[in-house]
Structure 1
Amino acid sequence: MDFELCTLTPHAAASHDADALILLWPDAADRADPALADPLTLWARQAIADGDLAADAGQWVAAYRLPGVRARRLVLVRCGDGGARRVRQAVAGAWAALKAGGPAGTLLLQLGALPPVAVAAAVQAIAQVSYRYTTTVTEAKPRSLRRVAVGVADAAAVQTAFDEAVAIVHGQELAREWANRPANHATPTDLAEAALALKKHGIAVEVMGPKEVAKLGMGALLAVSQGSAQPLRFIVLQYRGAGKRVAPVALVGKGITFDTGGISLKPAAEMDEMKFDMSGAASVLGVFAALARLRPALNVVGLIPACENMPGGRAVKPGDVVRSFSGQTIEILNTDAEGRLILCDALAYARQRFQPSAMIDIATLTGACVIALGHVRSGLFATDDALAQALLQAGDAVGDPCWRLPLDDEYAEALKTSFADVANVGGRAAGVVTAAKFLQRFVGDTAWAHLDIAGTAWTGGKEKGATGRPVPLLVRFLQQQAASLAAKPTPPAARTRRAATRRP
Structure 2
Amino acid sequence: MDFQLKTLDAAGACTEKTDALVVLTAEAARPGADALGRCIAQARKSGDFDGKAGKLLALYRPADVAAPRVLLAGIGDGSARAVRQAVAAAVGALRSAPVRRLCLLLPTADGPGVQAAVLAAAEASYVYTTTKSKPEPRRLERVTLGVPDAASAAAARADFACATATVAGVEFAKEWGNRPANHATPALLAQAARSLASSKASRIQCQVLGPREVAKLGMGSFMAVAQGSEQELRFIVLQYSGAARSEAPVVLVGKGITFDTGGISIKPAAEMDEMKFDMCGAASVLGTFRALAELQPAVNVVGLIPACENMPDGRALKPGDVVTSMSGQTIEVLNTDAEGRLVLCDALTYAERFKPRAVVDIATLTGACVIALGHVHSGLFSSDDALAEALLAAGRAAQDPCWRMPLDDEYAEGLKTHFADVANVAGRAGGAVTAAKFLQRFTARFPWAHLDIAGSAWKSGAAKGSTGRPVGLLLNYLAAQAVPGSVAIKNIAKSPAKKPRGA
Instruction: Spell out the pairing of 1:20-39 with structure 2 (5 A cutoff).
Output: 20-29=20-29, 32=30, 36-39=32-35
Instruction: Spell out the pairing of 1:398-477 with structure 2 (5 A cutoff).
Output: 398-477=398-477
Which of 60, 74, 78 in structure 2 is aligned with 1:78?
74
Distance in 2 separating the partners of 1:253 and 1:400: 17
Distance in 2 separating the partners of 1:289 and 1:486: 18
Tell me the amino acid that sits aligned with residue 16 of structure 1.
E
- Superposed CA deviations along residues 162-215 of structure 1, whole A, max 9, x for unmatched, are 111111111000000100000000000110000000012331000011111001
Tell me the amino acid that sits aligned with residue 120 of structure 1.
Q
CA RMSD of aligned residues (A): 1.3
Distance in 1 separating the partners of 2:333 and 2:461: 32
Distance in 2 separating the partners of 1:286 and 1:398: 15
Which of 26, 35, 53 in structure 1 is aligned with 2:49?
53
Number of the residue aligned with 2:296: 295
Q: Offset of 1:151 from its aligned partner?
A: 0.6
Specify the SS of the correspondent of 1:81: coil
Number of the residue aligned with 1:261: 262
Number of the residue aligned with 1:151: 146
Tell me the amino acid that sits aligned with residue 171 of structure 1.
G
State the identity as a percent.
63
Q: Offset of 1:20 from its aligned partner?
A: 1.1
Q: Offset of 1:138 from its aligned partner?
A: 1.0
Conserved? CA contact 2:243–2:483, under 8 Å: no
Conserved? CA contact 1:10–1:41, under 8 Å: yes
Tell me the amino acid that sits aligned with residue 350 of structure 1.
A
Tell me the amino acid that sits aligned with residue 175 of structure 2.
E
Conserved? CA contact 1:381–1:449, under 8 Å: yes
Number of the residue aligned with 2:188: 190
Q: Offset of 1:139 from its aligned partner?
A: 1.3
Specify the SS of the correspondent of 2:94: helix
Distance in 1 separating the partners of 2:270 and 2:354: 41
Conserved? CA contact 1:82–1:114, under 8 Å: no
- More displaced stretch, 260-269 vs 73-82: 73-82
- Superposed CA deviations along residues 84-104 of structure 1, whole A, max 9, x for unmatched, are 11111111211222124x231
Distance in 2 separating the partners of 1:275 and 1:219: 24
Distance in 2 separating the partners of 1:483 and 1:377: 29
Number of the residue aligned with 1:91: 87
Conserved? CA contact 2:297–2:486, under 8 Å: no
Distance in 2 separating the partners of 1:38 and 1:90: 22
Conserved? CA contact 2:26–2:52, under 8 Å: no
- Superposed CA deviations along residues 387-428 of structure 1, whole A, max 9, x for unmatched, are 000000110111100000001011111101111111000110
| Unpaired stretches in structure 1, ≥5 consecutive residues | 488-504
Distance in 1 separating the partners of 2:17 and 2:474: 35
Conserved? CA contact 2:394–2:473, under 8 Å: yes
Tell me the amino acid that sits aligned with residue 224 of structure 1.
V
- Structure 1 ranges of 4+ moved more than 6 A: 484-487
Distance in 2 separating the partners of 1:198 and 1:68: 47
Conserved? CA contact 2:109–2:156, under 8 Å: no
Tell me the amino acid that sits aligned with residue 167 of structure 2.
V
Q: Offset of 1:330 from its aligned partner?
A: 0.6
- Superposed CA deviations along residues 51-73 of structure 1, whole A, max 9, x for unmatched, are 11134211111112223222221
- Superposed CA deviations along residues 344-397 of structure 1, whole A, max 9, x for unmatched, are 00011011x201000000000000000000000000000110100000011011
- Superposed CA deviations along residues 425-446 of structure 1, whole A, max 9, x for unmatched, are 0110100000000000001131
Tell me the amino acid that sits aligned with residue 127 of structure 1.
A
Specify the SS of the correspondent of 2:222: helix
| Unpaired stretches in structure 2, ≥5 consecutive residues | 488-503
